[in-house]
Every structure is written in structure tokens, then in C-alpha cells.
Amino acid sequence: MHRSHTCGELRLDNNGVTVTLSGWVQKARDLGGMTFVDLRDRYGITQLVFNMETDAALCEKARKLGREFVIKVSGEVIERESKNKKNPTGEVEIDVKSLEILNVSKTPPFTIENETDGGDDLRMQYRYLDLRRAPVQKNIMLRHRVGMETRKYLDSVGFIDVETPYLIKSTPEGARDFVVPSRMNPGQFYALPQSPQTFKQLLMVSGFDRYYQIVKCFRDEDLRADRQPEFTQIDCEMAFVEQEDILNTFEGMVRHLFKVVLNVEIEDFPRMDYDDAMCLYGSDKPDVRFEMKFCDMAEVTQGKGFGVFDSAEAVLGIVVPGAADYTRKQLDKLTDWVKRPQIGAKGLIYCKMNEDGTTKSSVDKFFDDDARAEWAEKTGANKGDLILVLSGDLDKTRKQLGELRLYMGTELGLRDPKVFKPLWVMDFPLLEWDEDTERYHAMHHPFTSPKPDQLALIDTDPGKVKANAYDMVINGVEIGGGSIRIHDRELQARMFDLLGFSPEEAEAQFGFLMNAFQYGAPPHGGLALGFDRLCSMFGGSDSIRDFIAFPKNNSGRDMMIDAPSPIHDEQYSELQLKSTHTPK
């Protein structure tokens, strides 16, 4: 071992001990008679001291050390004269007796500091150097801790980690698959799994009872800012359970993780119907760290001669507490914000509930003092509050007001990343109608079971059927979701039919699962949590990329290894494939 101790462990207790340390040169300061070197490893930073008086040659050697050189030193632990209370090793330093350079380093293309001067692309290209920075290391270690504690918890309650295959079968339903040509079976392809969904259900048919896996999944989608072509999921399934059992199990897991990883006690883990979430927050993943619930204002706004409201399907408002003193400029800014194409509102109506008891709205022409008092009463606004109102098509208005609500929450500092408010959103619709293809899509996936008491609706009004499906939402972010699955062959076949599969297509793609259901499939259900997302949430960050050791960029490219890349002609011919791509 090239060390007796790490750079994070020496304390005053070790005073006088001879130690060997190895690590990277964080920085060197030449103060004439003395040279100080900060030596860094994963565990911390320890100060080394070289003295011209006691060993000039050694000190000269130390002076020549560059940033990020890898060195090995031996020496005596001594008490520091000027202690650094911020550093756990800051009470001691090493009086170095020998110095070996294990490896030299060119000057890194950016500084290896908490705040670096490197741009995004440069840091991705030299990711191995970016990963040396303490905040990035901390993220990756947090991810390890969350993963390990997840495993320990699930193991302790009887879940079995079963590896499902990565080379599976392409199924055109849902997102696009990555495919893998098979050399041994020319003309045929494997697909990389978008999730182990069917395999975990088969494991329930096999009687494994409780399954989990922390597993890579793959989706060949056009990437948005925070999507990765490969991502990781905590994937779970249980048999002989009802929805309640699953919610309790994973509520328990998440409480455990918050406790052991962040030392945070989750007090409340409420449940909310999908319909309520849409109605009160305009979102199926409401951020409940703050109130500002929607108020249906149709009753107090329509029929007063204001055409915009009168012709609207919905008039919805929120009360922004204490914002009555917003200036004209601030309100104009808000109006501009909701009118941006990303939000798409036509305008914003406000009403100030001034501290002095007066009220002032942007539509005073149509709404007099009394009418505005009705607004206050309807919304529950108090003196000092600001009412913001959007109107139009119901679905769009909900979405727009939901965005505005989040914006106001952020503006008012109500979205503290250190406060965690999880909830379950439940009773999702089974299907959603797709205007483009003019058919139903599964809202969750085709294996989700309708609520038993609504089975009859499937034939008469499928869009109305609710599913035994649930999402876990924390701070307005969908952390995961799941459902009770169909375990009956006939119902599964009916479901595929509803989704526009011909019986032949259903058989070709999912015949193995429907067959399995004929041999004693137990009732089962489960969920999957986005592991990258969960880790970034624990780390207080919005970006999953910061919590992935080697992420890809928005073109799905690994900038460090420069992949994907062309393959050899020989590989094409072995795979019996030809490229039809004409490079520009």
C-alpha cells in the first residue's frame, strides 16, 4: 500500500506518528524558507510542510511539484501553528522526510476546485478530471449511499435482487428501442430494455413474491435537456398485494432513505387523487411545499360583461400571499412570462387586496368593489394578497396556472430544496386519447389494471376508466410510479385490443406474457423509481447529469470516449448489414 493513512484521517491524536500519505497536489505555496503543499485524496486534504533549513534538497524538489502531480510522502505528524478549523485535518501537518513522485501531471485544462473555470463541454471531455472535484465526488458517493441503503432496506423486507436480461425483444409500443443486431442470427435483432416490466411480472408468475433490481434502462428518444439514453431505475414488484400494500412498502423505503442518508424525518406522506391534483394544482405532480391552490372563479367572474371570462371554459385563480404590493413593472413582467410560447396564456388578470382594505384589479371596468370583494371571499384572499387569474380552455388553463403557481412559489422562496414533501398521486386514468393517432394510449403502460369496479366502463366509456396506478411525487418532481397489474389473460387481451393491437400483433410481441397468465398468475403490482432523479433530489440538484459518473450530452454522445463512432467494414459484413447513410 502506498500509504499508511488517507489524507482525511489525521488528527492531533496522531501527533508524533510517522505516516505515509499518497495523493494529488492540490496546491503548493512557496514561502521562502518553507514550502507548504496541500495533498488531496477522496478522503480529504492534509497539509505537508517542507523546510529549507532541515532539508534543502527535499524542499527544492517540493517546490517543483505542479498541480495534480501524484506524490507519496513520509514524515511525522506535527501540530500546526496556525490551525484551520474548517478542515478536519486542519490541526496537524506533516513534516515531510521523504518525497516520491508517483506520476507527473500536465496542467489540467480547468481548475480542480469546487468552483471551476471549465465550461460544460470541456468538463465533459475531461470528465475524469471533473470527477476529481469535491462536489462531483460528493454526488457520486451520495448515489452509492442511496443505492446501498435502498438495497439494505429492500433486502430486510424480503425482496430478492434478480437480474433480468439486457438483450431482449423489440416492442414498438411506447418509446423507441435501441436495437442490437445478432451476428449469430442474421437479419434479427435484440433490443435493450426500456424497463424490465414484463420480466418482473414473469418473476411474480414464477412465485418470487418480492423482486427488486437497480437496473439500467434504455430509451432512444430525442433527448431533452435532462434526459439520458441510458438511465437507472429502482425496479420493484410484489405478489399477493393490493395497492395499499405497495404504497406502504415504498413509503417506508423512502422514509428510511431520507432518514439514513439525509437525517430528515418525513412527517407526512399524503395521498391525493389524480383528479384533485389536476383540479387544485393543474398538475399530476404537484409541489406541495406551498399552498396556493387553484380556485374555480367562474361563479364570481362570469356574466359580468367581461368577454374574455364569459367565453372561457374555465376561470381559475390563485392567491399569492403578501404580493399585493407588486408594482406595475412586476405585474407586467408576470404577464409577459405567462404569454411566452412555453406557457401560452393570452393574458393575465390580477387583483390586489391592498393592506388598507381597498382593492385594485386589471379589470376594474367590469368588476366593481363589490365584485372584487366576491373574488376575495371566493378565493379566501386576505389583505395584502394578490389574486392572479387565468382563463380559457380548462386543460390549457390548468397547465398555465400550474406553471405560474410554481413560478410564484419560486419567486416567494417557498420551494426550499432542503424541505421535502412527498406524496402519492393516485387513481390515474387508465387511458388517454391521442389526437394524432386517433386512438387510446395507455397512460401508465398496457399492463396496468383498471379499477375492478370500473371494468364495465371499458366497453362503454374507456376514457373514463380509472386505473390502480400511482405516482410518487416529491417537491413537484415525479420520482416514480407504478400500478397493480393485470394478471388475467382475457383482460390483458382486451387491453391490447383497446390500444389498437391486432390479436396477431399482441401475440407476436407479448404472447409469452399472456401465455404465462394461463398458468396460475398471482395478483401482483409494483413500481419503478427513477434512481438518477432520486439521487439528484437527495443532492438538492435539478440536474440528473450531475449524479451520473459518465453522462452523455444532448446528442446522446459520450464526449470523453467519443462514442458513438463508425465501425469497421468487417463488422458490417459480419452482421450482414449495410449503412444507407450518406455523410454530408
Interface residues for a second copy in 67-96 (CB under 8 A)? 68-70, 72
- What are φ and ψ of residue 68, in 5° steps? 70, 10
- Calculate ∠ Cα 542-543-549, nearest 5°: 145
Stretch that binds a second copy, among 174-182, 299-307, 415-423, 477-485 (CB under 8 A): 174-182
Stretch that binds a second copy, among 234-242, 289-297, 430-438, 469-477 (CB under 8 A): 234-242
| Using rule CB under 8 A, residue 144 touches a second copy | yes
Task: Please give the Cα distance from 583 to 157 (Å, whole number).
Answer: 55
Give min distance, CB of 47 to a second copy, in A: 18
Task: Please give the Cα distance from 510 to 2 (Å, whole number).
Answer: 56
First vs last Cα of the chain: how many Å apart? 53
DSSP secondary structure string, 151-213? HHHHHHTT-EE-PPPSSB----SSSPPPEEE-SSSTT-EEE--S-SHHHHHHHHHTT--EEEE
Site string for a second copy, 240-279 (x = CB under 8 A): xxx--x----------------------------------
| Using rule CB under 8 A, residue 161 touches a second copy | yes
Figure out which of the listed residues 218, 281, 350, 375 binds a second copy, where binding follows CB under 8 A: 218
Q: Contact at 8 Å (CB) between 355 and 324? A: yes
Task: Please give the Cα distance from 400 to 112 (Å, whole number).
Answer: 42
Figure out which of the listed residues 62, 73, 129, 292 binds a second copy, where binding follows CB under 8 A: 129
Task: Please give the Cα distance from 175 to 193 (Å, whole number).
Answer: 11
Closest by Cα among 215, 245, 218 to 233 = 215
Footprint on residues 496-515 left by a second copy (CB under 8 A): 512
Closest by Cα among 479, 481, 472, 469 to 531 = 479
Cell digits for 521?
398468475
Task: Please give the Cα distance from 511 to 464 (Å, whole number).
Answer: 28
| Using rule CB under 8 A, residue 24 touches a second copy | yes
Figure out which of the listed residues 30, 80, 110, 189 binds a second copy, where binding follows CB under 8 A: 189
Give min distance, CB of 274 to a second copy, in A: 24
Figure out which of the listed residues 203, 315, 469, 534 binds a second copy, where binding follows CB under 8 A: 203
Figure out which of the listed residues 523, 541, 542, 543 binds a second copy, where binding follows CB under 8 A: 523
Footprint on residues 415-474 left by a second copy (CB under 8 A): none
Strand, coil or helix: 460: helix
Give the nearer residue to a second copy in terms of CB position, either 240 or 433.
Answer: 240
Give min distance, CB of 488 to a second copy, in A: 7
Task: Please give the Cα distance from 256 to 266 (Å, whole number).
Answer: 9
Give the nearer residue to a second copy in terms of CB position, either 64 or 365.
Answer: 64
Stretch that binds a second copy, among 53-61, 235-243, 315-323, 361-369 (CB under 8 A): 235-243
CA 144 to each of CA 136, 137, 391, 531: distance values in angstroms, whole numbers, following the listed order: 13, 11, 47, 11
| Using rule CB under 8 A, residue 492 touches a second copy | no
What DSSP state is assigned to residue 158? T
Give the nearer residue to a second copy in terms of CB position, either 248 or 358.
Answer: 248
Give min distance, CB of 378 to a second copy, in A: 44
Figure out which of the listed residues 82, 103, 437, 460 binds a second copy, where binding follows CB under 8 A: 103
Figure out which of the listed residues 88, 181, 322, 384 binds a second copy, where binding follows CB under 8 A: 181
